[in-house]
Amino acid sequence: MPDLVEPAVPAGRMGGRPQPCLSVDELTIRPWNARDAPVIVAAYADEDIQRWHARSLDRNEATIWAARWADRWRHETGADWAVTEGDTVLGRIGIRRLDLAEGFGEAAYWVLPAARGRAVAPRALTAVTDWMFTLGLHRMELTHSTRNTASCRVAEKAGYAYEGTMHGRGLHADGYHDMHLHARLHTPATVTRPPAV
Ligand SMILES: CC(C)(COP(=O)(O)OP(=O)(O)OC[C@H]1O[C@@H](n2cnc3c(N)ncnc32)[C@H](O)[C@@H]1OP(=O)(O)O)[C@@H](O)C(=O)NCCC(=O)NCCS
């Protein structure tokens, strides 16, 4: 069945090149590798990361988790980076859902407890969003539980505008949560009014 719409980002533009390293201030944002497995295990043992990301990982699963992101980059279905300072991993910034043809991505992030409160997540989110826009992406969005006020602040600081509340959209260990939807557009939408009749 022929597509009647040109893809926003042609297949191969992302996965056909190496995943980039980005720099912001003192932070380096680089692809994960197998040596990161212990810090990934530690991150998913943190109660806040477990609560909002609803998973835990053992060492073997963490190694697979890191390798899977390299595959997803190649197949252009997602992307994930470690956010580091020197040799220390501070957090994670990623694109958990990605549709290049539609020009759409959905961000995800966490920061290890010792590095919270330094705007690591908003700076990493801004850098990755800007980079994805240079690739041709049109819209990046993120969702967070209405109970996760820290994540709401990350969205605001990274220029992701609040677009609405999705009722019962996020299934967590304690049940369904209402979720905020935030988004950043490469070219911000112009607000138009319907014509007067
Ligand atoms: C949400 C999270 C990613 C924020 O990352 P960060 O790099 O600390 O972001 P910021 O420094 O910009 O802080 C954001 C908010 O976190 C809160 N915060 C600040 N210092 C904090 C600390 N030491 N510990 C916990 N929260 C803190 C504040 O509410 C802050 O907002 P403010 O700047 O208006 O005061 C991080 O707290 C985290 O990983 N939490 C657990 C996992 C999670 O919630 N992931 C997102 C799921 S949608």
Q: Is the CB of 109 under 6 A from ligand 1?
A: yes
* CATH superfamily of this structure's domain 22-142: Gcn5-related N-acetyltransferase (GNAT) (3.40.630.30)
CA–centroid distance, residue 116 to ligand 1 (Å): 6
pLDDT in tens, the chain (197 residues): 888 999 999 999 999 999 999 999 999 999 999 999 999 999 999 999 999 999 999 999 999 999 999 999 999 999 999 999 999 999 999 999 999 999 999 999 999 999 999 999 999 999 999 999 999 999 999 999 999 999 999 999 999 999 999 999 999 999 999 999 999 999 866 555 666 75
The answer, yes or no, to whether any atom of ligand 1 lies below 6 A from the CB of 117, is: yes
Is there an atom of ligand 1 within 6 Å of 116 CB? yes
CB 63 within 8 A of CB 78: no
Question: Is the beta carbon of 79 within 6 A of some atom in ligand 1?
Answer: no
Q: Best of 153, 162, 171, 178 to mutate for ligand 1, by most ligand atoms within 8 A of CB? A: 153
